Every structure is written in structure tokens, then in C-alpha cells.
Amino acid sequence: MSKEEIMNLEERFNRYVAEENKVEPKDWMPEKYRKTLIRQISQHAHSEVVGMLPEANWITRAPSLRRKVALLAKVQDEAGHGLYLYSAAETLGADRQQLIEDLLSGKAKYSSIFNYPTPTWADMGAIGWLVDGAAIANQVMLCRTSYGPYARAMVRICKEESFHQRQGYEIMMALAAGTPTQKKMAQDALNRWWWPSLMMFGPTDDNSPNSAQSMKWRIKRKSNDELRQEFIDKTVPQAEFIGLTIPDPDLKWNDESGHYDFGEINWDEFYNVIKGNGKCNKQRLDARNKAHDEGKWIREAANAYAEKQAKRREQSSSVA
């Protein structure tokens, strides 16, 4: 194809997605669109899989059997979500094993929120309520993303996620209504998770260079700042309802804008954790590497067995 033809195709493609049409795997798409999607979808998948770890940490110690099964089911869902997303990336020609190797080597990124530790049970509440809450805001938007398989994975994920946030909020509610020790535990977790949750939406719009193109391609449909504001507006009343205090002295309702004003986010911390300086960056990657390395003989054995079986079937059919 000549350069001109490609330009022509790109123009058509842009118009096509701007008119809210979906792109499917075999359709022509600009190489940059494909790459952007693979990067974004795989990062999202990595986040789900690494995101299992801080919560899996509490499965054996959940305070009741009811909480234990809920948490197990939730962390299991995250594995499922990682899987759906890797599958979506594979429709673009990516190879899951390669994507995972990029994660394990530290080359690929995942949401830095999961580099924060979960020292207490209340962290299970805070993660479900805040981290999943923030993730859902983003994911609801992505249900209408322009790439079909990604959008469909998101619809599935959003359906399943709906219990996650409720699970977390219910934990917080129980703690906030409990003994002073429990309430203190809940407030402490809120204090630690509030700001990192706000950072999950990414840098402010004027510092987010890739956003404009993603919006044009309808991959992303709302800006980081818009989503962040929506999340804050929704979450503040939920905190008030259970009597917990958002750790932001500048937080106040603004009648004029119809939104909450909030304080300055510490972006130095954000970039620092991305760089690898979070409390748990190393533990998280070590755990993923360990699981992958120690699982190798299992994966190999299953393939070897499948090959043997295929040969046996061949032999027995040639005998017959």
C-alpha cells in the first residue's frame, strides 16, 4: 500500500470511529491504534493479575467464613478479568506469554496502586470500596470503547465487578459501626488509600500527553480529571454516611460548580511509586515471577501429555 492509500484509510478509520462504530479484530486499523490498544489492554490485564496479590494476602486471615468466601471469590474474579483482558489483547496479535514476560521483567507497567501494602483487614474494605470504585468509573467508560473485543471484555468485567465494591463498602460499614478499635482501623485504611485512589485516574489532563489521541479514537471517552471528579463526588457522601473522614482538609462542596473541590495531589509520590519505589513493588513482581517460574514444569507437563495423546490417537487410528 502506498503512503497515500494508508493516509486515506486512516482518515476513513478516524471518521468511522468518530461516528461511534466498533472496530473488530480483522478490520484494518492504524498500526498506532493497534499498539496503543495492546499497551493499554495488557497494562490493564497486568493490573488485574498483580492486583490479586494485596488482597490474596488476607484470604487465609479473613475474620469470618462469610468474609473469606467473598474475598476468595473476588480475588478469583480478578484472575478472570486478567484473563479476559489478555484474550482481548491476543485478538490484536499479541502473545500472552510474551506480555507476561514483559510484566515479569519489569518492562511492562501495571497500576501502581497495587504497590501499596495491605497491613490490616480494613485494607480489604478500603480496596473494595475505593480502588474498585475508581476502577469501575474507568471501566464503565471503557464498556463503550471503540475496539469490540475490549468493550465486550469490559461489559463482562463491569457485570462481575458490581459485587466487588459492595463487598468492600460492607466491610468498611461493619468496621465503622463496630468498636472504637475497629473504627480506628477503618479510618486508618481510608487515610492510606484515599490519595492513591485519586492517583489511579492518572496525571491531570494538562499532563497526560496520550489522552487526546485516545479520545479521538474513542478508546478513552472521558478525561482523567473528569473521571476523578466523578469518583470524588460519588465517594464523599459514602464516607459521610458511615461516619469516616476523608483525609483532605481542602475538601468542600462547591455550590457553583456542583462538585467537590479537593486538595493538591502529591504527584511526586505517584511518579516515585511508578519508578519502583512503592513499599511493595519488589514483593509484587517477585511473587508473580515465583508463580510463573514454579508453574513452568506444570505447563510443560500438560503440553507434553497432550502431544503424547495426539500421537497415540494417530497410531491407534492408523492401526484400525
Partner 1 sequence: MTSKDNWKIWEVFVRSKNGISHKHVGSLHAPDAEIALKNARDVYTRRSEGISIWVVPSDSITASRPDDKEPLFTPSDDKVYRHPTFYEIPDEIGHM
Partner 2 sequence: MAEANEKYVLRLADNALILGQQLGEWCGHGPVLEQDIALTNVALDLIGQSRMLYQYAAELCGDGSTEDDLAMKRDVFDFYNVLLVEQPNGDWGNTIVRQFFYDTYNYFLYDFLCNSTDNRIAEIARKSIKEIAYHAQFSAEWVIRLGDGTEESHQRVQASVNDLWNYTGEMFTPDQLDKDMYELGIAPDLQEIGKAWRKKIDEILDIASLKKPDNEFFHTGGKVGEHGETLGFILAELQFMQRAYPEMKW
Binding site for partner 1 (CB under 8 A): 9, 12-13, 16, 21, 26-28, 76-77, 80, 83-84, 87, 90, 95-98, 152-153, 156, 160, 296, 299-300, 302-306, 309
**Pattern 174-193, binding to partner 2, x per CB under 8 A?**
xx--xx-xx-----------
Given a contact cutoff of 8 angstroms between Cβ atoms, the answer to whether 140 and 152 are in contact is no
Window contacting partner 2 (CB under 8 A); options: 16-24, 47-55, 187-195, 239-247: 47-55
Q: Dihedral of the CA atoms 258, 134, 280, 77 (nearest 10)?
A: 170
C-alpha cell at 227: 473521571
**Pattern 216-255, binding to partner 2, x per CB under 8 A?**
----------------------------------------
Phi/psi for 28 (5° steps) reads -70, 140
Nearer to partner 2, 218 or 288 (CB): 288
Contact between 61 and partner 2 by CB under 8 A: the answer reads: yes
Listing DSSP states for 85-152 in one string gives: HHHHHHTTT--HHHHHHHHHTT-S---GGGGS---STHHHHHIIIIIHHHHHHHHHHHTT-SBHHHHH
Nearer to partner 2, 86 or 147 (CB): 86
Helical H segments across the chain, by residue range: 3-18, 31-50, 52-56, 65-90, 96-104, 122-126, 132-142, 148-176, 180-199, 211-216, 224-241, 267-272, 281-319
Chosen from partner 1, partner 2, none, partner binding at 109 (C-beta under 5 to 8 Å by type): none
Given a contact cutoff of 8 angstroms between Cβ atoms, the answer to whether 206 and 176 are in contact is no
The distance of Cα 291 from the centroid of its chain, to the nearest Å, equals 20
Window contacting partner 2 (CB under 8 A); options: 56-64, 198-206, 229-237, 268-276: 56-64
Chosen from partner 2, partner 1, none, partner binding at 16 (C-beta under 5 to 8 Å by type): partner 1
C-alpha cell at 285: 513482581
Q: Which of residues 268-287 bind partner 2 (CB under 8 A)?
A: 287
Q: Minimum Å distance from CB 296 to partner 1?
A: 5
The distance of Cα 84 from the centroid of its chain, to the nearest Å, equals 12
- Site of interaction with partner 2 (CB under 8 A): 49, 52-53, 55-56, 59-69, 72-73, 75-76, 79-80, 82-83, 86, 121, 171, 174-175, 178-179, 181-182, 287, 290-292, 294-302, 304-305, 308
